[in-house]
Structure 1
């Protein structure tokens, strides 16, 4: 027995694709068509019962920056377009005004619509109105409810629309409304200009008096301060120049005094004992100092020469030289003293000049401060005079401009296109309403079809089975006959096409043998091949075929797998272990008096219990007499020995068992075989039942080879395996297997037999 394999990981759930959406549409297209027809007819009848509404349209120009016919120099005192932060705000405001209660009330009063019962009830001209009247305010609200304004994109234009059951009334009301709105806008501007004119007139007289007073005050001030001949600016400039000159002279005097002080310092450094070190600057300025210094230096040199000649200080020549030195020193010191006196005099003169210039500078600064005070008051008076003069001129000019603008009566809101008489109603729109009804019907039909498909909890496709059960799909087997296909047009057409290839009645369990070129036979051989390739190194010697519930085709699948194995050259025995509703003995026409149960009780009867069939390499072991306790027999040691004996005599043992859900027989058998094949019937096997069945097998560590997807209706194309359908339609395997005899007692007798 092969080792139990762990459950493979479940693949991801199939996403929502066009193919998954097309499947319910194709299956329930009649429901969708019916929903569309009903909704379309309903929309048509509702449309026919509604009152026809006509729409009149007018085009208006809203200019937030109106042209100035008097030129850009002439500005309107009152901006008739208003003051707004941006154009969008302006347009929103105007659209609100045109739909306002005030404008609507003016139109109602002018046309006396509040007394028109047809307007109030929105009746067509031919209808008979009641004597109903409403207030002006209520009639205005009715008018506003039928009015709409929409701006034309990227323009200053707007479309004003009004809807009414009477086309003439729609034209008349809208024409009156745009005229009333334009006139209202102009009247507002003119009223504002009138108020502005009154205010400007009163301001002109006041400003004229203020101007005269400011001019007289400025004149008196100039007279009092003696600034009539020279302007304040000229005086200020002259005083600034004087201060600048005094600053320059003061700086020069201070520099000169510093130079003189430096000479004094150098002269004071002269040593009376050695007066020869007179500063060079003083020697350059006095030739007498140069001569006296030269004489002194010469006398000193003579005395040095005499001393060098050995003549002492008492020598007459030395005494004479010393006398000349003393005389020249006294003369040099006297001249230095004279120079010092002159330098002191220059220092005093420079200091006096600095003091005088400082005093003059302070006086000039004080005069400048006084002048600043005068200038402040002067400028204040002059600004007052200039401001009054400018304001007086501006107000006078604006008064004239306002008068000119009032005379022009220019309106920045104009009617571009007046409303025409509407010929075609805008509502109800029959094509649009019918199309909407059809679309609604389509949506409801699709929702119903997809919802019905989603509520169907059966396994419908192999991919769905793989996802739900986490098992490999071993193959698909087409639906064998049409007993459950219904009586619709599509199903009748399918049956007519299949009738062309009908064959003689027989058991569907033998289709692989009786019709080896049919599509079902090819599918059975494909399942056989997949089973062999699932474990090529350790082939399945004992194979259990079961299903989750009855009537899912497990017996048919087991027979055809066994036949396909036998046709491949293997020696096969087909064992009927469905000891509750056995069927294989009827299929192969074998007696049931001996079989599995008798072989378990008397192993020597096994050879007698195995029957050869009309199919080469295929033998049959029926159930034998039905026992009261099948589960205990299958769980017994004798049954294990029976399987071992069959394994020794045959290459492959195929076991047909009861369904998994009702009884435990299949779970017991799954523990004794190499592999288990679970049959899933398309659109019949429920997901929850199949999951519980697979879980039951895994709980007992049964090795599940995979699933066979049975009873697939390829003509519905729900599965995507179109290659098989094309293969069949091309003439290969076109035989349709027959239905089983009506007296079948197995789980496959109640439904069309199929195998995958």
Structure 2
């Protein structure tokens, strides 16, 4: 017994030691795979249906053939003559190649190709075949009354352009021109025709452009020739009018040399005038009666200097004579006369010099004025000549420009005329299209495989979406992660033979070695371990809604506890009592309501369960208001009184979501066991019921997952193989206990 209890204790502890992070990770990683495996037959079947449907469609589709012609676009082709400036030549870059590719796909090339092949005569492209549509029958057709070739080509264009494709070949000057049609021969002809029309259209455009350039050049030459003649005539008239003979520069006309000579003489005249003016100003600024001999302008004259020295000599001689002779002495008189004569000579010389300075000043002024007049006249002549020469240069440049333009246009005209006769194609077909033996589409095998894979993928998405939208509790991991409560046990789904309430209520007694009985023992062990030090326990068993197996679990759990402890089972669902029916007892027996109200004794309300030591207290007579009865103090006293006689009291109450009876009982019970139905109970409802119980002060011991399909779980989830390996009918257990099942059941 000790070994069995220890084994059950370890098994139960393993139920509460799951790491939430591990469980969540396991749920995230394996839930998708489980959802897919669970419906693998449906997924594969859906994939096969989609593949079959695709196969039917592709096998009735018209095969399409594709032919390809390879065109070389010679972007680096050398021109015979350099006339790129006249019209748009071949560029040397990638943009030119891409431009040519777009030209092949242009509307103009397409229309010409359609007209060349007369595609409207083929049933595949004939727009007139659509005239019998229902729109035409009611008079809403926009088709013309009379078809012309132009209208037919326009009508075929959209269909033609969809089938034509031009693909540049990377790192080359080649382009693939492809065409698709249900007629293999027509596909090859259309591809070759599109390439040929492109080349012909390019040659035609070049020829037309050359002719336009030639015509324009001829018109321009006429105007230029007229303008050149007028320019030369105007130039000659100007030369004759102005008397210019081969005049090229001002220096050659003599005016430049004249200006240089006059400028030199004018500088000299101005210097002389400045000197004379200086002397003149010195003389004019001297005071009246002053000695002018001391002036620099006078002293510089050599004659004045000589007269000045003669005066000095006479004065010294007079001084010497006066010292030796008197004034009456002849020598003195002679010396005095010589001095007077020297002074008169000096005065005459000074007056002469002054007069000479004045004349020089006036002459210098006159010379300067004359030279300035000559210079101004020369400058005027030069300026007039410069203006004429500038105007002449303008006429000469105009004549030269007209002559150059005329020569250039003459040259370009000759080049264009020659080039027009020597045009070469910009492209050529290097690999013509040939008739293909095999169609390019539809790729039947590929489409069927893709359809099958797509069907499988859609089936997988549908399976995942269905499970994501399914908010029921399916596994023990769902219970622990979504309800945040420990799993107490998992009750397996019973077979059809065991579905009857009378069989399931006593399955612990009738089939002690069954998987269901082992699950009940696991729950009993969990209850005992949750309060191992408590001598007595009052347990409440409830659920969210009816039909979740709450009553069946209560009866079997009570029977299991009765094997080891003195146990009482109370049916507290006084509105819809079910325990008496499950145990096949006579209806109308006195029970809980009678004992609480005091209308019956404890012995009258107790009924032993046949085959076990379990005592049952039925619901009794249905009171007017069961909730008031449960809220009364007499109910609490009743539980205390019963606790003195029984070690374990199990109370089966109504579902939480229907009435509040379970909430009232949970507040006075030692613990509550919450029963949920696998793949039926939404976790939001169960979580809400548990929260309501906890808010009233109740304690949740654990959650029971009932009606769990073990075979389905083993097949889809892979974590419940213990049920099949150690189930009833194989290695049994003495007295219903055994470590083997306990080890496997801990996984639930």
TM-score normalized with structure 2 length: 0.67
Q: Deviations over 1:31-83 (max 9, x none)?
A: 322222122111111111122111111122345x5523336x55473336599
Aligned to 2:78: 68
Q: 1:514 to 1:372 in 2, by over 3 A?
A: same
Alpha-carbon contact 2:492-2:515 (below 8 Å) kept: no
Aligned to 1:735: 727
425, 435, 446: which one aligns with 1:432: 446
Which one has the largest radius of gyration? 2
Deviating more after overlay: 217-226 vs 583-592: 583-592
Q: 1:527 to 1:179 in 2, by over 3 A?
A: farther
User: Does residue 415 of the first structure (1) align with residue 410 of the second (2)?
Assistant: no
Give the CA deviation at 1:94.
0.5
Aligned to 1:40: 51
Aligned to 2:652: 656
Aligned to 1:25: 36
Alpha-carbon contact 2:555-2:579 (below 8 Å) kept: no
Give the CA deviation at 1:178.
1.8
Whole-Å separation in 2 of the counterparts to 1:506 and 1:687: 29
The alignment partner of 2:79 has SS state of coil
Aligned to 2:133: none
Give aligned pairs, total.
Answer: 649
Aligned to 1:51: 62
Whole-Å separation in 1 of the counterparts to 2:367 and 2:531: 134
Q: 1:671 to 1:247 in 2, by over 3 A?
A: farther
Q: 1:202 to 1:274 in 2, by over 3 A?
A: closer
Give the CA deviation at 1:522.
5.0
397, 407, 411: which one aligns with 1:397: 411
Q: Deviations over 1:367-404 (max 9, x none)?
A: 45423432343233222222221122211211222233
- Tell me how large the CA RMSD over aligned residues is: 6.0
Alpha-carbon contact 1:35-1:445 (below 8 Å) kept: yes
Q: 1:455 to 1:350 in 2, by over 3 A?
A: farther
Whole-Å separation in 2 of the counterparts to 1:200 and 1:596: 123
| Structure 2: gaps spanning 5 or more residues | 1-20, 130-145, 313-344, 498-503, 731-744
Aligned to 2:507: 507
Deviating more after overlay: 37-46 vs 239-248: 239-248
The alignment partner of 1:546 has SS state of strand
Aligned to 2:189: 172
Structure 1 segment 255-294 matched on structure 2, within 5 A: none
Give the CA deviation at 1:187.
1.7
Alpha-carbon contact 2:505-2:556 (below 8 Å) kept: no
Give the CA deviation at 1:519.
6.9
The alignment partner of 1:389 has SS state of helix
Whole-Å separation in 2 of the counterparts to 1:364 and 1:249: 14
Q: 1:189 to 1:88 in 2, by over 3 A?
A: closer
Whole-Å separation in 2 of the counterparts to 1:720 and 1:332: 156
Whole-Å separation in 1 of the counterparts to 2:297 and 2:615: 156
Alpha-carbon contact 2:591-2:621 (below 8 Å) kept: no
Aligned to 2:112: 103
Alpha-carbon contact 1:582-1:623 (below 8 Å) kept: no
472, 493, 508: which one aligns with 2:484: 472
Alpha-carbon contact 1:186-1:409 (below 8 Å) kept: yes
Q: 1:685 to 1:334 in 2, by over 3 A?
A: farther
Q: 1:431 to 1:261 in 2, by over 3 A?
A: farther
Alpha-carbon contact 2:221-2:409 (below 8 Å) kept: yes
Alpha-carbon contact 2:250-2:386 (below 8 Å) kept: no
Alpha-carbon contact 1:680-1:710 (below 8 Å) kept: yes
Whole-Å separation in 2 of the counterparts to 1:172 and 1:375: 74
Alpha-carbon contact 1:556-1:754 (below 8 Å) kept: no
Give the CA deviation at 1:444.
4.3
Aligned to 1:299: none
The alignment partner of 1:679 has SS state of strand
Q: 1:540 to 1:506 in 2, by over 3 A?
A: closer
410, 425, 449: which one aligns with 2:463: 449
Q: Deviations over 1:591-614 (max 9, x none)?
A: 995653454245995488679999
Q: 1:686 to 1:346 in 2, by over 3 A?
A: farther
User: Does residue 79 of the first structure (1) align with residue 74 of the second (2)?
Assistant: no
Structure 1 segment 202-601 matched on structure 2, within 5 A: 203-204=220-221, 207-232=224-249, 355=369, 359=373, 362-460=376-474, 471-475=483-487, 477-481=489-493, 483=495, 507=507, 521-522=521-522, 525=525, 542-555=538-551, 575-579=570-574, 580-583=576-579, 596-601=592-597
Q: 1:404 to 1:553 in 2, by over 3 A?
A: same
Whole-Å separation in 1 of the counterparts to 2:48 and 2:405: 80
Q: 1:121 to 1:381 in 2, by over 3 A?
A: closer
User: Does residue 189 of the first structure (1) align with residue 206 of the second (2)?
Assistant: yes
Q: Deviations over 1:674-696 (max 9, x none)?
A: 55443222211135654664576
Alpha-carbon contact 1:596-1:622 (below 8 Å) kept: yes
Q: Deviations over 1:174-200 (max 9, x none)?
A: 223322221122122112223333443
Aligned to 1:747: none
Aligned to 1:94: 103
Whole-Å separation in 2 of the counterparts to 1:169 and 1:528: 89
Q: 1:625 to 1:47 in 2, by over 3 A?
A: same
Q: 1:631 to 1:224 in 2, by over 3 A?
A: same
Q: 1:576 to 1:482 in 2, by over 3 A?
A: closer
Q: Deviations over 1:288-314 (max 9, x none)?
A: 99xx9xx99xxxxxxxxxxxxxxxxxx
User: Does residue 148 of the first structure (1) align with residue 160 of the second (2)?
Assistant: no
Q: Which structure's residues are more often helix, by fraction?
A: 2
Alpha-carbon contact 1:513-1:615 (below 8 Å) kept: no
Alpha-carbon contact 1:511-1:521 (below 8 Å) kept: no
Q: Deviations over 1:185-231 (max 9, x none)?
A: 21221122233334434544554454344334434433443443441
TM-score normalized with structure 1 length: 0.66
User: Does residue 638 of the first structure (1) align with residue 628 of the second (2)?
Assistant: no
Alpha-carbon contact 1:99-1:147 (below 8 Å) kept: no
